[in-house]
Structure 1
Amino acid sequence: MRIPKRLMVAAAITAIAARRKFTAPYELTGKSVLITGGSRGLGLALAAEFLKRGSAVTLMARDPAELERAATQLGAGGRVQTVAGDVTRQEDLRRALAEATRVHGGLDVLVNNAGLIQSGPLANMTEADFRDIMEVNAFAPLILTRLAVPELRRRGGRVLLVSSVGGKVAVPHLAPYSVSKFALTGIGQALRAELAGDGIGVTTVCPTVMRTGSPRQAQVKGQHQKEYALFATVDNLPLISLDARVAARRMVDALVRGDAEAPIGGSAFVLKYAQALAPQLTADLLALGTRFLPAPIPGDDAIPGSEAETPLTLHNPIKSGAEREFNELDGKSESKSD
C-alpha cells in the first residue's frame, strides 16, 4: 500500500516536534569549549555566544597577535584562553586539547570552525588547491574530533562542525571549497551515527554567506579584482547574507537542541530543499548563473582578497564594519581602510 506523501511529511514533522519536546537541551553553563579558527570572523562570534551562555572557551588559531586581540575583545577574565597552532599539524591539535583540559578542567564541546576559502573559476584551480583545502576543511576536523573522543566520551560532550550551504549545493567559482564542505557534511553524518553509542552528540551546521568580514582572507584566482568584488559584495548583502552574531546564536541553538544537521539562514534553507526536491532545475539555474560570472584567464596565481580591494569593496560600510567587529584587520589594514 502506498502512503500519501502528505501523510509522510506530517509524520516526519510530528516526529521532529516530539523529539524536541522530550529531549532535554544541552546545558552550556560551566562547560569547557574549544573553538578552532577562534581568533576572528565566525569563530570570534561563536566564542562570544558561548561566553554569553556561561561557558569557558579556548581559542585556537595560527596568529598569536590575532589571538591576543580576540581575547582582549572578548574580556571575560579567566574564561578565555588562547592556543597558537595550525590545525593541519597533529601535534598542535594535541596541544590545544591538552591546554583546554588543563586550564578549564576538561573538554565538553569541540567546535570545528577553522577553514579556508578559495574563489575563482574552476579552470584556474589546481589539484593542489583541492588537496590544500581538504586538509584544513575536512581532514583537520576529522582528526581533531577523533583525538577528542576519549575526553568527550568521559564528559558526555558535543561536537559542532561548521560546514556550509556549499556543502549541500556546489556553488560556482567555489569548487574546491564546495568539495571540502561536502566532505565535511558527510563526515558529520558518519560521526553522528558512530559516536552516538559513546554518548557524544554531533551537530553539523550549513550556513549561508555571513557578514563576518572574512572575504579579505580568501584566496582569489582568475580576474582577481572582479572575482573579489563579486564575492565580497554578495557576502555583505543584507537580504542574502546573515549577521555573524545571529548565525552564531542559531548554530549554538542547534548544538543545544542536539540537531543532526541544520541550515543556517533563509537562503541556505531554500537551496538545501531546492536541491533535494528539484535537483535538475537547481543544476540548470546554477549553470545559467555561471555564465554571468567573470571568465577564467590564463594562469593559476592566487592573491589574498585584501590585495584585490577596489574602491567599491574598500568603502563598503557594511563590510568595513564587520571587519572591525570581528578582528579581521591588523593595524596596517585598518589605517588603509579608514
Structure 2
Amino acid sequence: MSEFWTGKTAVISGGSRGLGLHLAMELARQQSHLVLIGRDADNLRLQRDRLLQAGAMTVDSFACDAAEIDLQSGFRERLERSGVDLLVNAIGVSDRGMLDQLTREDLLNQFNTNVLVGWSVTKSCLVPVTQNQGCIVNIGSLAGLIGTPNMGGYCVTKFAWTALTRQWRMELKERGVHVLLVAPGPIARDDSDHRYDALLAQRGIQQKGASKPGGGAKLRRIDPVWLSQRILVAAAKRERELIVPWKARIVIGLFAFAPGLAEYLLRRSLHRD
C-alpha cells in the first residue's frame, strides 16, 4: 500500500501545517498530485516548494477561508481536470475550558471551524470525488468519541464532526465514495506543553491537567509521521474508522454497555499533578 497514491489527486484542507502538512509530505513522497487549501499564502508557497522537492508531481494551492473555497477562481476547474481520489479535511481548532466557562461566541466559533468548514469543503468536492469514486478522510479526535474534562466545547463540536462523518459515509456509499473517520489522541508537537498557557490565563482556568495534551488524560503523544502513514494505508484499504491508540476502543465500547465504569476509568486516567 506504500505506493497506492502514486499519480493520484489529493485535496487537503489545512494542508500547509500540522497533521495536514504531514499527510501532504507523505503523499508527496508517493508522487501524488496535491491541491492544498489554507489561509496563509506565504506559508502555502513555502510548503509548495518543499512538497515538490519531496516528490509531489504537482502542487496547486488556494489561500482562502476553506469555507469559501467555492469562490476561488480556478478551484473547480482544477478538480474537473483530474477528479479527486482523496479528500482530507484536516482543519480544526482545539480549546480549553468547561462548558460553563465558554461564551456563546466561543462555542459557535468552534462549531464553525470543527464542523461547518469541513462540511463546506466536502460539498464543494463531491462531484470530482464521486467522479473518481474516491475516499474522504475526516480528521477527528478521541474527544469526538469520549467526553474529556477541560475540553467541553471541543468535545461537543468533535462529537458533531463524528456524527457528520458517519452520516456522509451512509449517504455516499451508493455513489462509490468512501468516508474514513480518524480519531487520534494527542499528536506530538513542539509546543505541546505550553500551547494553551495564554488561553488558560485569559479565562482564569486553573483546573489540574487543563494545560496538558488530551485535557489531562494520560495518553502517549502520537508521532505525526507514523500517523500520516497509517491514515493513508487505512484510506487505501477503505477502513471505516481509525482510532489511535487502539486501547481507547475499550473505554469507547464501555460507554455503550457500562457508562458508569467507563467514566470511572476515564477519571482514573487523568493527571493529578
Q: Is 1:85 matched with 2:64?
A: yes
Give, in angstroms, the shift of residue 70 of structure 1.
2.0
Find the residue that maps to 2:67 and give its secondary structure. coil
| 1:188–1:203 contact (8 Å) kept in structure 2 | yes
Q: For 1:73 and 1:229, how far apart are their aligned partners in 2?
A: 35
- In the other structure, the counterpart of 1:303 is none
- In the other structure, the counterpart of 1:101 is 79
| 2:67–2:118 contact (8 Å) kept in structure 1 | no
Q: How high is the TM-score relative to the length of structure 2?
A: 0.83
| 2:149–2:215 contact (8 Å) kept in structure 1 | no
- In the other structure, the counterpart of 1:61 is 38
- In the other structure, the counterpart of 1:201 is 178
| 1:31–1:108 contact (8 Å) kept in structure 2 | yes
Q: Is 1:230 matched with 2:211?
A: yes
| 2:86–2:129 contact (8 Å) kept in structure 1 | yes
- Judge which range, 50-59 or 202-211, deviates more: 50-59
- Judge which range, 140-149 or 192-201, deviates more: 140-149
- Once the two structures are superposed, the pairs formed by residues 177-196 of structure 1 within 5 Å of their partners are 177-196=154-173
Q: For 2:102 and 2:74, how far apart are their aligned partners in 1?
A: 32
Give, in angstroms, the shift of residue 220 of structure 1.
2.4
- In the other structure, the counterpart of 2:222 is 242
Q: For 2:207 and 2:130, how far apart are their aligned partners in 1?
A: 48
Distance 1:77-1:169 versus aligned 2 partners, 3 A rule: closer
| 1:202–1:260 contact (8 Å) kept in structure 2 | yes
- Once the two structures are superposed, the pairs formed by residues 147-166 of structure 1 within 5 Å of their partners are 147-166=124-143
Which runs of 5 or more structure 1 residues have no equivalent in the other structure?
1-23, 294-338
- In the other structure, the counterpart of 2:262 is 282
Give, in angstroms, the shift of residue 289 of structure 1.
6.7
Please provide the CA RMSD for this pair: 3.2
- In the other structure, the counterpart of 2:240 is 260
- Judge which range, 272-281 or 242-251, deviates more: 272-281
**Percent same amino acid at aligned positions?**
26
Q: Is 1:211 matched with 2:188?
A: yes
Distance 1:227-1:133 versus aligned 2 partners, 3 A rule: farther
Q: Look up the equivalent residue of 1:83 and give its one-letter code.
A: F
Q: For 2:16 and 2:209, how far apart are their aligned partners in 1?
A: 23
- In the other structure, the counterpart of 2:27 is 50
Q: Is 1:171 matched with 2:148?
A: yes
| 1:153–1:200 contact (8 Å) kept in structure 2 | yes
Find the residue that maps to 2:93 and give its secondary structure. coil
Q: Look up the equivalent residue of 1:278 and give its one-letter code.
A: A
| 1:163–1:181 contact (8 Å) kept in structure 2 | yes
Q: Look up the equivalent residue of 1:162 and give its one-letter code.
A: I
Higher relative contact order (Cα pairs below 8 Å, separated by 6+ residues): 1
Q: How high is the TM-score relative to the length of structure 1?
A: 0.69
Distance 1:282-1:229 versus aligned 2 partners, 3 A rule: closer
Q: For 2:73 and 2:168, how far apart are their aligned partners in 1?
A: 22
Q: For 1:231 and 1:194, how far apart are their aligned partners in 2?
A: 37
Find the residue that maps to 1:88 and give its secondary structure. helix
Q: For 2:18 and 2:73, how far apart are their aligned partners in 1?
A: 23
Q: Is 1:121 matched with 2:121?
A: no
Distance 1:83-1:135 versus aligned 2 partners, 3 A rule: same
